[in-house]
Amino acid sequence: MATELWLAQEVIGQKRDGQVLAAADIQRFVEGITDGSVGEGQMAAFAMAVLLKGMTVAERIALTCAMRDSGQVLQWQLPGPVVDKHSTGGVGDLVSLVLAPLLAACGCYVPMISGRGLGHTGGTLDKLESIPGYCIQPTPERLREVVAEVGCAIIGQTADLAPADKRLYAIRDVTATVESIDLITASILGKKLAAGLDVLVMDVKVGNGAFMRELSEAEALARSLVEVANGAGVRTQARVSDMNQPLARSAGNALEVEEALALLAGEVRSPRLWALTLTLAEDILLAAQRVTTRKEAQAQLQAVWTSGAALQRFSRMVAALGGPNDLQRAPWDYLPQAPVTRRIEASHSGYVSTVDTRAIGLAVIGLGGGRQQAGDAIDASVGFSQLALPGEPAGPGHVLACVHARDAASADLAEQALRRAYQLADAPVAANALILAHL
């Protein structure tokens, strides 16, 4: 025990003084986080030292691998590549719900470990929990069965996957060290790499609806994620994508599930959502060597989409994890619906020029569709649908959005927030580029 305490203090002191930590010392420190021999004060001091002094790429790789190895690391024996995608979070970002079944239909296997909403951004797990019966934490044995049989399973982090990250993140959240790129990298990748992946594609968001508003910051994080994941043995690349507008037409848990089902069935409500989903899917198919050219990837994805094969994979996944076996047939027979629905139009004519995307995400939380405190219950029925996007006409006769609320008072507040989030121009404006960098 004394050795462990001394080691923890030595590691903290070395990083405080700007020294490069040995991989073995990082490994021992993370083991101490996992078994509790490193205390909360020591974790806080370590996190602050890393935030202030930074880490080399080699240190980031060592920290990530130690996080990955702090719990169970899944091993697979499947006839195709094991792949995944991760997004840093946005508003109306339902890509995972569409991407996983698309890839499964193309012969990949997708054990997708997803998270809940954070701040103003929506969480994939919260969306899936709007489906009655859907189990987001199956046993490891059931996860293996579903991935092998269906090709994809979108679930939450279990206690056995990267447990050190859960303990360290709780400390970071209350010590103003969440922003450290070194610690963000290890936190994201520790969980993802524990899933036993061959290929990973990162979608790093930037803009007024993302956690990172500056392109330079987003590129720095994307570069770190790519360098570290590849250094840890997983073929990885990243896209930096625009989040200066909602990605989907909807924002809210059940509403986004319904839009994902519609997209898998062939209805493209948001061209940007579909374009980003296809780009990330093409990247994965190429990296996994399922195809040799981007044109071949596009043809394969188009085929499984138009044939309904991808929608079938989603439906099978839902049923295999406890949800209804005919959700795709009549989504609103199962998904919760808000009692109050209100169409909102702009007071004067024009064209949507800018959208305060973060404000829309916060308005969803205000409706009850997200958490203000960690233990808050979520109303999966509330949110916005039919969101107008930059460049589109607005004014009388044109819907700006539909608000879905639990009561009239909530709808009033959401309408006010939505109106403040939209700016109109006299002439059409071009939307920002969707993909800003590829690393």
The torsion angle over the Cα atoms of residues 42, 47, 50 and 52, rounded to 10 degrees, is -110
Residue 423's region, left for phi above 0, alpha for psi from -120 to 50, else beta, is: beta
Closest to 417 measured CA to CA, from 378, 375, 387, 379:
387
Residue 68 makes CB contacts below 8 A (sequence gap 6+) with 162, 189, 190, 193, 194, 232
Nearest to 399 by CA among 412, 413, 409, 389: 389
Burial group, residue 87, by CB count within 10 angstroms (0-12, 13-18, 19+): buried
Separation of alpha carbons 148 and 9, rounded Å:
45
Contact of 380 with 369, CB cutoff 8 Å: yes
Residue where the block lists tokens 């195809």: 291
Taking the C-alpha atoms of residue 38 and residue 30, their distance in angstroms, rounded to an integer, is: 8
Strand ranges (E), 226-380: 235-242, 340-345, 350-355
CA–CA gap between residue 269 and residue 250 (Å, rounded): 10
Which strands make up the sheet holding 422-425, listed edge to edge? 393-394, 350-355, 422-425
Coil, strand, or helix at residue 412? helix
Residues labelled as active-site residues: 84-87, 124, 172, 187, 191-192
